[in-house]
Amino acid sequence: MRNDPTKDLLDSISRNAGRAFAPTDHALLRQAQSSKGHISDKAVMDEYNRLIDEKLRPRSFWSRLFGG
């Protein structure tokens, strides 16, 4: 099975679209810096991106109901 570079690019763009146009969330950036700041700047940005993805991810009714 061959990889489709166009599909891979479009998938990457759709995954990162929320982060690309969102303003910086300074509270989440401070949280990422406090948890990963002693390691490296890349670790801080990876943690920040993870927190943004978690914030932007749509949650289902059941996960909101049961806190998941």
Is 6 inside any structural domain?
Answer: no
Is 9 inside any structural domain?
Answer: no
Is 3 inside any structural domain?
Answer: no
Domain interval for residue 45: 24-68
Residue 47: count of CB within 10 angstroms of its CB? 20
What is the total count of domains within the chain? 1
Residue 32: count of CB within 10 angstroms of its CB? 21
| Residue-level pLDDT, tens digit, the chain, 68 residues | 567 888 888 877 777 776 666 678 888 889 999 988 788 889 998 998 888 888 877 777 777 677 65
Q: CA–CA separation, 57 vs 45, rounded Å?
A: 18
Residues 6 or more apart in contact with residue 43 via CB below 8 angstroms: 36
Structural contact between residues 56 and 22, judged by C-beta atoms closer than 8 angstroms: yes
